């Protein structure tokens, strides 16, 4: 069995994991920008409806509460996407380890 180069292995793991994290972050950012813009536009519209007398204060409160729940759902999706990004990064890093270990032992120890 050849010696496992710890520094080289760490570098391979990092190289495999970073693109996954980067891709996940870009995807989450694009999603958040679109959805938060929609929420901001709706909140502005609610304010205009109150000002023009189309909505009572109580009705506006209900509509704003709906926006709050919508914002929470956007944030929860971001949390989920972050978990998926971390998961993909970890699996990519472990995939790099698989290659390194199989090379070190000289046969396909890990299928």
Partner 1 sequence: MTEQQSGSFWRSLTAFLILPGTVAFLVPLLLKPDAGSVHGDGLAVLLIGVALLLWCVRDFHVIGRGSLAPWAPPKRLVIVGLYRFSRNPMYVAVLVILAGWALAFRSTTLAIYAACVAIAFHLRVVLNEEPFLARTHGAEWTMYRARVPRWLIPRALLLAALVVSVGCAVRLIGDYDDTLDRGVTAVQQQTELYLMHLRSAPGAPFDRAFHDSVAASLVVLKTRAAALPTYAIVTQQLGNLQAQYSDFRRLDSSMARPFPAAAIGSVESSIAVSVESILKLELALKRGSSPPASTPPPER
Closest separation in Å from C-beta 11 to partner 1:
16
Q: How many residues does the chain have?
A: 111
Closest separation in Å from C-beta 78 to partner 1:
9
Closest separation in Å from C-beta 18 to partner 1:
16
Quick one: CA torsion of 49, 50, 51, 57, rounded to 10 degrees? 180
Cβ neighbours, 10 Å, residue 15: 12
**CB closer to partner 1 out of 21 and 55:** 55
d(CA 89, CA 70): 29
**CB closer to partner 1 out of 21 and 81:** 81
d(CA 16, CA 4): 18
- Cα–Cα separations (whole angstroms), residue 86 to 22, 38, 66: 10, 28, 30
Closest separation in Å from C-beta 87 to partner 1:
4
Report the interface residues with partner 1, using CB under 8 A.
Answer: 4, 27, 30-31, 34-35, 37-39, 41-42, 45-46, 48-49, 54-55, 58-59, 62-63, 65-67, 69-74, 76-77, 79-81, 83-84, 86-88, 90-91, 94-95, 97-98, 101, 105, 109-110
């Amino acid at each position: 069995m050849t010696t496992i180069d710890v520094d080289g292995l760490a570098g391979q793991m990092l190289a495999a994991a970073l693109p996954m994290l980067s891709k996940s972050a870009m995807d989450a950012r694009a999603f958040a920008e679109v959805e938060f813009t929609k929420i901001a536009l709706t909140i502005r519209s609610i304010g205009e409806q109150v000002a023009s007398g189309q909505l009572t204060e109580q009705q506006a409160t209900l509509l704003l509460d709906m926006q709050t729940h919508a914002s929470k759902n956007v944030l929860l999706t971001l949390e989920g996407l972050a978990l998926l990004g971390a998961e993909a990064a970890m699996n990519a890093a472990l995939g790099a380890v698989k290659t390194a270990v199989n090379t070190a032992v000289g046969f396909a120890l890990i299928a």
